[in-house]
């Protein structure tokens, strides 16, 4: 087969915060990106990034940016509640898309976006960075090749300190769907379902508590049990209310996967690389305008999901993920990115956990988006 024609990428980055900045700086270094345009409501943020990477264009209006004839691909990196409008606008123009998770924070909007993507036939992926880490790719390969046989039991546990929820919810008053599962548990949920590929959840029973973060309008923890279509069971648990001084910069995961011929046990808490110092450590997760409010003197190094800085460059899974996306659209390379359908499924399942916890009873899957949102509201 002939190799696909290489075409320079004209990249639009909508949202110039922490993640948009990381991906835009990586775009600056990728030889296949021939033009970069930026958009953010905050002019100071966007213009600083424009200067830092010598971008070609900046606007406060994503419609103005997307109307530029140079644009061929779009990264949507706005706050979680504001993905829908720029995504739909990019779809209308037929651009390749990289959308930070979630696809939307409203299940009805998410279904609408997925339908538009599929109707237009655009290539759209969702930002689930952990798929690009070597350890999870190694596990995926062992499962594909049947090393532990048929999987029948899975346990997933995620621990986070409370910096992410506080920083997330303080940016908006629309907090009803900004829960542990929807915002952060979705990463470990996506990973688990990717590793269990071929198994479909048919019901979930969950419970939540809000003793600490209730004052911020969100939950502390959500624990659930999924039943799969073949009878397999999966425990999916997350708590993002650990103290600010908890050493994990963001995420710590444990996943146990039991098959009829073996087991894979994943310990991804980053406790194998510990820094303790009289010098106060940074917050790890440090979006503009956020302070942890307490000194942190111990860190689990490598626990910041995007990766780690060395010599002014980010090294780690977000670099791999972003550059793989450029390869995907520049050379037609196959990649392990989450699809838009994966992203929509993940949102429905995380919201179904919240609904089950609110009702105190199991929820059948998949839920209807309109019924789901009516119940959650």
**How confident is the model over 49-66, as a mean pLDDT?**
98
Are 300 and 327 in the same domain? no
pLDDT at 2 over 90: no
- Dihedral sign (CA 206, 340, 126, 253): positive
The whole-angstrom separation of Cα 123 and Cα 73 is: 10
The whole-angstrom separation of Cα 171 and Cα 79 is: 8
Are 237 and 256 in the same domain? yes
- Identify whether the C-beta of residue 90 lies closer than 8 Å to the C-beta of residue 83: no
**How confident is the model over 144-167, as a mean pLDDT?**
94
Encoded tokens for 323: 């550059």
pLDDT at 41 over 90: yes
Phi-psi region for residue 369, left (φ > 0), alpha (ψ -120 to 50) or beta?
A: alpha
**How confident is the model over 67-76, as a mean pLDDT?**
98
Which range among 159-173, 260-274, 320-334, 360-374 shows the weakest confidence by mean pLDDT? 159-173
The pLDDT assigned to 174 comes to 63
> How many domains, in total, are found in the chain?
2
Q: Provide the whole-model pTM.
A: 0.92
pLDDT at 290 over 70: no
Are 262 and 177 in the same domain? yes
Instruction: Please name every residue paired with 263 in a beta bridge, in sequence order, or none if there are none.
Output: 258
- Identify whether the C-beta of residue 102 lies closer than 8 Å to the C-beta of residue 87: no
Domain boundaries, position 250: 133-305
The pLDDT assigned to 182 comes to 86
Are 151 and 98 in the same domain? no
DSSP state string for 63-90: HHHHTSTT--EEEE-S-GGG-HHHHHHH
Instruction: Please name every residue paired with 9 in a beta bridge, in sequence order, or none if there are none.
Output: 33
pLDDT in tens, 322-366: 999 999 999 999 999 999 999 999 999 999 999 999 999 999 999
369-376 vs 340-359: helix axis angle to the nearest 10? Answer: 40
Give me the chain's average pLDDT, please.
Answer: 93
- CATH number, domain of 143, equals 3.30.360.10
Instruction: Specify if 258 maps to a domain.
Output: yes
| Distant-in-sequence, close-in-space partners of 325: CB < 8 Å, separation ≥ 6 | 98, 125, 335, 337
Instruction: Specify if 372 maps to a domain.
Output: no
Are 126 and 139 in the same domain? no
**How confident is the model over 117-139, as a mean pLDDT?**
97
The pLDDT assigned to 168 comes to 79
Which range among 21-25, 157-161, 166-170, 171-175 shows the weakest confidence by mean pLDDT? 171-175
Are 198 and 326 in the same domain? no
- CATH number, domain of 43, equals 3.40.50.720
Are 158 and 118 in the same domain? no
DSSP class of residue 4?
P
pLDDT at 22 over 90: yes
Instruction: Specify if 96 maps to a domain.
Output: yes
Instruction: Specify if 38 maps to a domain.
Output: yes
Encoded tokens for 199: 């198994």
pLDDT at 287 over 70: no
Encoded tokens for 87: 């995504």
**How confident is the model over 46-66, as a mean pLDDT?**
98
Encoded tokens for 244: 């600010």
Closest CA to 106 of 180, 195, 174: 174
The pLDDT assigned to 310 comes to 92
pLDDT at 286 over 70: no
The whole-angstrom separation of Cα 63 and Cα 367 is: 33
């Amino acid at each position: 087969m002939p190799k696909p024609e290489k075409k320079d990428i004209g990249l639009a980055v909508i949202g110039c915060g922490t993640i948009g900045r990381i991906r835009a700086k990586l775009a600056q270094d990728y030889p296949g990106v021939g033009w970069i345009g930026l958009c953010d409501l905050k002019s100071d943020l966007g213009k600083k990034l424009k200067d830092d990477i010598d971008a070609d264009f900046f606007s406060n209006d994503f419609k103005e940016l997307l109307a530029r004839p140079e644009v061929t691909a779009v990264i949507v990196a706005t706050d979680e509640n504001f993905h829908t409008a720029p995504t739909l606008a990019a779809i209308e123009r037929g651009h390749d898309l990289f959308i930070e998770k979630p696809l939307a924070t409203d299940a009805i909007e998410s279904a609408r976006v997925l339908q538009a993507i599929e109707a237009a036939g655009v290539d759209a992926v969702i930002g689930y960075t952990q798929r690009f880490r070597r350890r999870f790719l190694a596990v995926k390969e062992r499962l594909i090749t049947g090393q532990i046989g048929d999987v029948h039991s899975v346990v997933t546990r995620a621990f986070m300190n409370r910096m992410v929820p506080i920083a997330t919810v303080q940016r908006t008053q629309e907090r009803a769907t900004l829960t542990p599962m929807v915002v952060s548990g979705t990463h470990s949920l996506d990973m688990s379902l990717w590793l269990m590929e071929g198994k479909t959840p048919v019901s979930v029973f969950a419970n939540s508590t809000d003793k600490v973060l209730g004052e911020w309008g969100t939950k502390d923890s959500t624990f659930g049990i999924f039943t799969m279509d073949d009878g397999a069971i999966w425990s999916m648990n997350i708590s993002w209310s650990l103290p600010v001084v908890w050493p994990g910069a963001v995420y710590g995961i444990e996943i146990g996967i039991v098959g009829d011929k073996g087991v894979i046990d994943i310990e991804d808490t980053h406790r194998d690389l510990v820094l303790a110092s009289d010098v106060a450590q940074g917050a790890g997760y440090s979006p503009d305008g956020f302070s942890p409010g307490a000194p942190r003197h111990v860190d689990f190094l490598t626990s910041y999901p995007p990766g780690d800085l060395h010599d002014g460059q980010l090294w780690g899974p977000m670099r791999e993920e972003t550059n793989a996306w450029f390869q995907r659209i520049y050379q037609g390379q196959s990649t392990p990115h989450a699809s838009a359908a994966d992203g929509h499924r993940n949102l429905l399942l995380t919201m179904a956990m919240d609904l089950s916890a609110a009702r105190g009873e199991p929820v059948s899957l998949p839920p209807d988006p309109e019924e789901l949102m009516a119940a959650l509201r």
